[in-house]
Homo-oligomer: A and B are copies of this chain.
Amino acid sequence: MTQRLGRTITQRGLAELAGVSIATVSRVLSAPQDQRGRWASPETVSRILELANELGYKRNPHAASLRTSRSDLVGVLVPRLQDFVLATIYEGIEEAGMELGINTYVMNSHDDVELQRLRTQVMLDRRVDGLIFGDARLDAPFLDELREQGVPFVLTSRRKEGHLSITCDDYAGGRMVAEHLIEQGRTDVVILGGLEFASTAQDRTHGLIDRLREAGIEVPPERIVYRGFDTAAGRQAMAEILEDGISTNAVFAANDFAAIGALGVLQDHGYSVPGDVALIGYNDTPLAESVGIPLTTIRSPMHPMGRESLLTLCRLMAGEPVESQRLAPELIVRASSRG
């Protein structure tokens, strides 16, 4: 945190003090640790390093970016940071970025197609080297267009056919839910799917119904309702189901928050959980464990997902071979479905 009083120190300053040219300073300072010797004698190297350290030299990233046209900046777009899941994924991204000396910065798109476009442009205007999208929509051509322009990006949380993505294996997660319900003998299922245009919603839902179908159980369409991933959406979806007079002994919500919303409505209507209805969420947020009736849920590797997406983006930008990954989910059985 050494800050010079007068002028902030530059490579020129170091060069003068060390009695070498600014070119040498630059090469020594920007070479990887083990290769500094390639450009200067050991004494020169250590002299420069010491001086830099002592005077608190910090490279001016604007100047460097201008010269190299690389910013070491990556932009991250998420639906909402308020969403615990995305916030956690972002923490993983930030953590990995920090380790690699890459700065990340994040914006909210509110799942709005227009905002998505606008925010992306803002980030490109800031000359980010690459992008991470946590808000991919199955129904929008935006990402396909973006690829035309040759901008490197990876998706996380949600995937989209034909694009590089690091996600949870949501389909497998859905199947786990189905298997658990079959074991418990609760197959009169209702699905609060989340947002229809999100692969997370689709994959979780289809994993569940596919596996049930394999067991000879059909889930008719009126039992699947897409309202959103948050608490309010969970309330609304559950309320609609009950109003429609649909009877059920198992509710799967594509998100813990939606599940908690649903829980409130179920209790208001006099259903006991898990007595009358088993309730299962998704993501294993801390709330799942702490809420009145501990929630059975699928644990998704949010933090690792974030880390891995940043690392993958870096590999992509470095021209290394990369491929999509689906990280394994895990079933966490708690009181809300034991019965």
Chain A residues within CB distance 8 Å of chain B: 1, 3, 58, 60-63, 65-66, 71, 80-82, 84, 87-88, 90-91, 94, 98, 103-108, 117, 121-122, 124-127, 145, 149, 230-232, 234-235, 257, 260-261, 263-264, 267, 286-287, 289-292
User: Given A121-B1, A290-B231, are A94 and B107 also a contact pair (CB < 8 Å)?
Assistant: yes
Question: Which residues on the B side are within 8 Å of A145 (C-beta)?
Answer: 1
- The interface residues of chain A, by DSSP majority, are classed as helix
Question: Which residues on the B side are within 8 Å of A81 (C-beta)?
Answer: 81, 87, 90-91
Apart from A82-B91, A105-B106, A257-B287, what 4 extra A-B contacts exist at CB < 8 Å?
A61-B127, A62-B127, A82-B84, A103-B105
Question: Which residues on the B side are within 8 Å of A287 (C-beta)?
Answer: 231, 257, 260, 287
A263 touches B286 (CB 8 A): no
A291 contact from B3, B87, B291, Cβ within 8 A: B291
User: Given A61-B127, A62-B66, A66-B60, are A91 and B84 also a contact pair (CB < 8 Å)?
Assistant: no
Question: Which residues on the B side are within 8 Å of A71 (C-beta)?
Answer: 62
Question: Which residues on the B side are within 8 Å of A58 (C-beta)?
Answer: 124-125
Instruction: Write the chain B residue with the least CB distance to A231.
Output: B290
Instruction: Write the chain B residue with the least CB distance to A290.
Output: B231
Bound-state CA distance A267–B66 (Å) is 60
How many subunits of this chain does the assembly comprise? 2
A292 touches B290 (CB 8 A): no
Question: Which residues on the B side are within 8 Å of A84 (C-beta)?
Answer: 82, 84
Bound-state CA distance A81–B260 (Å) is 21
B263 touches A127 (CB 8 A): no
Q: How far is the CB of A280 from chain B (nearest CB, A)?
A: 17
B126 touches A103 (CB 8 A): yes
A108 touches B82 (CB 8 A): no
- Most B C-beta atoms less than 10 A away, residue of A87, A106, A267: A87
Q: How far is the CB of A250 from chain B (nearest CB, A)?
A: 19
Question: Which residues on the B side are within 8 Å of A3 (C-beta)?
Answer: 149
- 8 A-B pairs in the complex with CB atoms less than 8 angstroms apart: A61-B127, A66-B66, A80-B91, A82-B91, A94-B107, A235-B290, A261-B290, A264-B290
B94 touches A108 (CB 8 A): yes
Question: Which residues on the B side are within 8 Å of A261 (C-beta)?
Answer: 290
Q: How far is the CB of A71 from chain B (nearest CB, A)?
A: 7
Question: Which residues on the B side are within 8 Å of A61 (C-beta)?
Answer: 62, 125-127
User: Given A87-B82, A103-B126, A108-B94, are A63 and B66 also a contact pair (CB < 8 Å)?
Assistant: yes
A264 contact from B65, B257, B292, Cβ within 8 A: B292
